[in-house]
Structure 1
Amino acid sequence: MNMINVNSEALSAIEREFTLNVNGLDLAVTTWGDERNPPILALHGWLDNSASFSRIAPLLDQYYVVSPDLAGHGKSEHRSPSQAYYLWDYAIDMSIFVKKMGWDSYSILAHSMGTGVASILNSISKGIKRIVFIDGMGAPFTISEKDVVSHFKSALRLSEMAHSTKLNGFSQKNQPQYSSIQDAVKTRQKVVGGSISLGSAKLLAKRDLVSVESGYRWQHDPRLTIPELIQLTEVQAGCFISQIKCPLTIILGTNGLFVGEVFDSKSQYLGANARVCWHEGGHHMHLENLNQEMISEIKSSLSTP
């Protein structure tokens, strides 16, 4: 199987960036390709940023790939202390974003948490032609109905503890978390479901690190590292997946997060419009295991009538 490499020089030559105010927040946006081409909204995963698509987007050269850093992620602004980071809030942001971009129709390429955002966005935004999920099947973090109250209490305790102990980046904004970029990148190699290569970690870390006196720290909102007080139940998340009527392709990694019982529980909500494809790789397969077969699969899915 031939792996595909996109070198850093090529990336820097074709990437463009801009900032767009959405719902009162300045969102940092990365684009690839000609804006006259059919648009693709690329939605990254939890604690990632638009650099998540920096290897795959340049290969989708017949499209205009647009990836915002979701609120609180990467270079985008944080929500106010009175606001939270719920999936439906991201979806509302993206609905406004699409309108501001002036898109009458567009497709979605989403990874992990981004698939949950996409499933909700699909319910409130018109003009979505096709959707491609990469190692994601809607809301990634769900709870059972019987655990709603206990989860609320536990999440609140974790939030209070994080604030009081200054853990997980809740320290002062000028206080370093790492003495060097190398230390930060090594930490960034740890992801949900395992680890990623040093090269992939560098891509994600570069867009998330900020220099402070005597070191570096993450610029994403530390509140992202603790659970939200309210999470969708598995049934609620399934409802958003089942109402997707446009062509839906779900590309899952053989070593990803959606194998075995997890896949069985979520696949029951898929409609006749959904197609599941398995590829070798883990959760960040679009960064780690990019190959011609996967690219062909994605291009074919995006051109499905």
Structure 2
Amino acid sequence: MSHTFEEVRLRLPHLEVAAHLYGPEDGRPVIALHGWLDNAASFSRLAPLLNGVRIVALDLPGHGLSDHRPPGAGYNIWDYAHDILQTAEQFGWQRFSLLGHSLGGIVSVLLAGAMPERIERLALIDGVIPYTGEAESAPRKLGEALRALLAVERKRKPVYARFDQAVAARMKGVGAVSREAAERLAQRGLMPVPGGYTWRTDPRLMLPSPLRLTLAHAQAFAQRVECPTSLIIARQGLMTDAKVIEFIDSLPFESHRLHGGHHLHLDDDEGAAAIAAVFNPFFAS
């Protein structure tokens, strides 16, 4: 990674998180939130291209170099909202903006809908509302989650004999990425173990959700967002459901459809530059 950033660790009241800091200290405060199973390196191409902003690119709990949640705790999407607020407290930010990709974008919308007084702007990349579930499926989903939780301690994370094997596996994962993008994520996300390398991520992140918001719940959060919002939709990304797109088009969001996959901000320089061309005037306005 050729651009300068500062590596920091932040001791929150409930756990410790790691982050990359970009930009001038007096810039517009922005907390950047990566996608599921990614880490702060997700913003290593884009963050240096954004002007006049002070970016705290977090490793969300359970990801990258941040702590895992303690035994008995879970990774519900709304729990990340508390992590974000506690991070903002570390910097004395009462109002701040959010830059979110995928899961990070979904969490950003939840927090902005729940506490609109704290969020100045939302910059979203291929993520707005979560996968949802209706009441009739809730008992089955909870049962699946509880069975998986009981079995998680018996499971072992994959071990890759070579770094490049782990990179190849990440390229084929959910939201497939370019080789260089996978290498950036792997440099931060892998750790050495006997026999090779494995991912630092908490295995509980792969467990099924015990409870999902209903579609009405998810839409209510998005509809309550009061701050200016700019959304990038990747044309070859994951936001392809017609009903979701129809709902998003009904929102008062500034929306842009750009060529690229789900990780277009990280896959190559062209994708990062195209997003920066959208977000720089948005943050400056």
In which range does the TM-score fall when normalised by the shorter chain? over 0.9
1:180 aligns with 2:162: yes
Once residues 262 and 76 of structure 1 are traced to their aligned partners in structure 2, the CA distance between those partners, rounded to angstroms, is 35
- State the 4+ residue runs in structure 1 displaced beyond 6 angstroms: none
Per the alignment, in what secondary structure is the counterpart of residue 34 of structure 1? coil
User: Counterpart of 2:281?
Assistant: 300
1:291 shift after superposition: 5.0
For 1:74 and 1:262, the matched residues in 2 are separated by 33
- Identity, % of aligned positions: 34
Q: Could you tell me the TM-score, scaled by structure 1's length?
A: 0.87
Is 2:213 the partner of 1:232?
Answer: yes
**Matching of residues 51-200 of structure 1 within 5 Å:** 51-122=41-112, 123-124=114-115, 126-139=117-130, 141-164=131-154, 166-167=155-156, 169=157, 177-193=159-175, 195-200=176-181
Give the superposition deviation at 1:260: 4.1
Q: Does 1:282 align with 2:261?
A: yes
Q: How many angstroms does 1:22 deviate by?
A: 1.6
Secondary structure in 2 matching 1:280: strand
CA contact (8 A) 1:135 1:256 kept: yes
The residue aligned with 1:172 is none
Aligned to 2:10: 20
- RMSD over aligned Cα, in angstroms? 1.8
Does the CA contact (< 8 Å) of 1:23 and 1:93 recur in 2? no
SS at 2:261 equivalent: coil
Contact residue 23 and residue 52 of structure 2 kept, 8 A: yes
**Structure 2 counterpart of 1:258, from 207, 214, 239:** 239
Partner amino acid for 1:63?
V
SS of the residue 1:115 aligns to: helix
Structure 2: stretches of 5+ with no match in the other structure = none
CA distance in 2, matches of 1:21, 1:91: 16
The alpha carbon displacement at 1:209 in A equals 0.8
Structure 1 residue identity aligned to 2:266: L
Unaligned runs of 5+ in 1: 1-7, 170-175
- SS of alignment partner, residue 236 of structure 2: coil
Q: Which residue of 2 aligns with 1:246?
A: 227
Describe the shift of the 1:291–1:100 C-alpha distance in structure 2 as closer, same or farther (beyond 3 A).
closer
1:205 aligns with 186
| TM-superposition CA deviations, 1:204-238 (whole Å, max 9, x none) | 11111111223111111011011121122221111
Corresponding pairs, count:
282
Q: What is the CA–CA distance in structure 2 between the aligned matches of 1:212 and 1:293, rounded to whole Å?
A: 38
- Summarize deviations over 1:125-159 as a string: whole Å, max 9, x none: 633211111001132x2212321111111222233
> Separation in 2 of the partners of 1:69 and 1:266?
30
Secondary structure at the aligned position of 1:191 is classed as coil
In the alignment, is the contact (CA less than 8 A) between 2:46 and 2:273 conserved in 1? no
CA contact (8 A) 1:105 1:129 kept: yes
Question: What is the CA deviation profile of residues 53-89 of structure 1, one whole-angstrom value per residue up to 9, with x for unaligned ones?
Answer: 0000000132111111111111000011211111111
Q: CA deviation at 1:191?
A: 2.9
Q: What does residue 5 of structure 1 align with?
A: none
Give the SS at the match of 1:85: coil
In the alignment, residue 86 of structure 1 is paired with which amino acid? N
Contact 1:41 1:66 in 2 (8 A): yes
Q: 1:262 to 1:81 in 2, by over 3 A?
A: farther
CA deviation string 1:91-116 (max 9, x = no partner): 01111111221113321110000112
Summarize the Cα distance change of 1:228–1:209 in structure 2 as closer, same or farther, 3 Å threshold: same
Report the 3-state secondary structure (helix = DSSP H, G, I; strand = E; otherwise coil) of the residue aligned with 2:21. Answer: strand
Matched letter for residue 133 of structure 2: I
SS at match of 1:254: strand
Q: 2 CA distance for matches of 1:124 and 1:23?
A: 20
